[in-house]
Chain A
Amino acid sequence: MKVLHGISLEVLPGEVVCIIGPNGAGKTTLLRTISGLNRATRGSIRFKGEEVAGLKPYQMVRRGLGHCPEGRRVFQLSIEENLITGYVPGRGKSFAELRDQVYALFPILGERRHQSAGRLSGGQQQMVAIGRALMGSPELLLLDEPSLGLAPIIIHQIFEIVLKLAESGVSIILVEQNIDLSFEVADFVYALEHGSLQCSGPAAKMAADPRIKDIYLPGLDGQDSH
């Protein structure tokens, strides 16, 4: 089945790119293609100047890609072991250093480090998934709906992390349904529909465009939740 049609997209160093689109638009498929889980039928993918289409996901990860997949997919191992799986040696920081960073971000994980991740609540699992992706000290981080199932207070935290990471030079591709915040945080936005690119542009301009508002942000001008 053909899911994506001739998409061209670019992410610059330290940039936060957001991909939006209705369900089934192909956002997840796009991320999976970038990280090599799905093979692109045609076209090229370049990462840090190198052609990477056809590389396996683990090869991508070792080149500095991080992917926090849709649906969490934590391992039924202890939290700490989940972090071990995500650690990629030889990318600068030591395991302990990275692990402590993750625990600092999500203290609950540190508290339960020896508990099986399979027994965490949905939102806690999401934290594990993000933490695990960070363990590879990625230069490009793909986040597939990271705020899914998280309490508002944690969502805020996630977006703060995204900002922090971007500050430190990590490029981020963010797939989100939480468009209000995404548009704030993102630099550049791609809108996808039925597997093809519909519109792209700087986030601020996107947010301001009435047509985009109509399609993606109905009721944004309405009441805020707080």
Chain B
Amino acid sequence: MLKFDHVTKQFGELAAIDDVTFEVKPGIITAVIGPNGAGKSTLVNMAAGSYGVTSGRILVGDTELQKLPKYRIAHAGLSRTYQNIRLFDGMSVVKNLEVALVPPRVGSLIANTFGLSGRAAAEERRARCHAVLERLGLAAYAERQAGSLAYGQQKLVELARAIVAEPRVLLLDEPAAGLNHGETEQLKQHILALRAPDLAMVLIEHDMKLIMSISDTIVVMNRGRVLAQGTASEIRTNTEVQEAYLGQPGAIKDIEAAARGRRNRVRIREGEGLTWHQP
């Protein structure tokens, strides 16, 4: 569905993306992982039209996205979430979602505003937004100002905004960053529930547990190139990937050992037990 075809992105000297080719198929979840600065967000930004493409093509079906202005890319059925949240802070949560449902043509926009059908259309938009909020468990926040929500809730609102227009391609840039285990678990359920035969999903994440448990295929990027592609287990055991990204399996053990060693030496507040401040 979404295809990167020999895509290159140059920032001055730096080739942030260097001749990348891969395809994202509908109906499955494609994860993109890689070290910081590998170029994952750049890929998303190019697909969504935030960055121009230095060379190569990005296709959804037959449509060449790199030729379209950004808003047309959205109309072509691609939507995304941002690594650094970009909600419309001063607007209510529903309004945030409604933005994605604004009629694409200015003519219909004006007709909608002053015509008779406007009210019905507005009601319908609202209904769709509420339905999505309901599904993501955000219904209670519908009228809250988006900017006043806690980080995790904002991330969910962004997800809601991205799906309300029923996209064909959904790009999620680190949706779980900043979420705790429980929330990540919820998010995982939401993402799994979104899986549909006509929806191509790209998931960028650093949360390996999530990635490994949810993705159907994984693309590993490094220094602007595709380092490897495969299933979770293939990736997990790929030594190149370990070296560049996951770290040696032993690394965690080392930290744990160092921490234990220190704790044994320092022994701060050893004697205290657990205190429950609330029943």
Contact = CB atoms under 8 A, between A and B. Distances in A.
Q: Do chains A and B touch in the complex (CB under 8 A)?
A: yes
Interface of A: 12, 14-15, 20-24, 28, 70-71, 108, 119-124, 126-127, 145, 148-156, 159-160, 163, 166-167, 177, 179, 181, 184-185, 187-188, 193, 196-206, 209, 212, 215-220, 223-226
B179 A150 contact: no
B185 interface: yes
B209 interface: yes
- Most B C-beta atoms less than 10 A away, residue of A28, A121, A205: A121
9 contacts: A24-B150, A119-B11, A121-B37, A156-B255, A184-B259, A200-B275, A201-B275, A225-B209, A225-B212
B4 interface: no
Contacts of A225: 208-209, 212
B151 interface: yes
B180 A151 contact: no
- Most A C-beta atoms less than 10 A away, residue of B39, B249, B275: B275
Interface of B: 11, 34-39, 41, 83-84, 149-153, 174, 177-183, 185, 206, 208-209, 212, 236, 244-247, 249, 251-252, 255-256, 258-260, 262-263, 266, 268-270, 272-278
Contact of B41 (A20, A70, A122, A185): A122
Nearest to A203: B263
A148 B176 CA distance: 9
B174 A149 contact: yes
- Most A C-beta atoms less than 10 A away, residue of B152, B244, B247: B247
A75 B270 CA distance: 40
A224 B276 CA distance: 29
B277 A226 contact: no
Contact of A202 (B35, B245, B269, B277): B269
Contacts of A185: 255, 259
B274 A148 contact: no
Contacts of B182: 22, 215-216, 218
B35 A153 contact: yes
Given A23-B179, A121-B37, A153-B245, A196 B277 contact: yes
B268 A14 contact: yes
Contacts of A197: 277-278
Contacts of B11: 119
A37 to B, nearest CB: 16
Nearest to B40: A121
A119 B42 CA distance: 11
Contacts of B36: 121-124, 126-127, 149-151, 154
A70 B151 contact: yes
Contacts of B255: 156, 159-160, 163, 181, 184-185
Contacts of B276: 198-199
Contacts of A12: 268-269
B130 to A, nearest CB: 22
Given A199-B276, A219-B181, 9 more contacts: A120-B37, A149-B177, A177-B179, A187-B263, A188-B272, A199-B278, A200-B274, A200-B275, A226-B246
B152 A22 contact: yes
A151 B152 CA distance: 20
Contact of B270 (A70, A126, A184, A202): A202
B245 to A, nearest CB: 5
- Most A C-beta atoms less than 10 A away, residue of B258, B263, B268: B268
B207 to A, nearest CB: 8
B274 A199 contact: yes
- Most A C-beta atoms less than 10 A away, residue of B41, B84, B180: B180
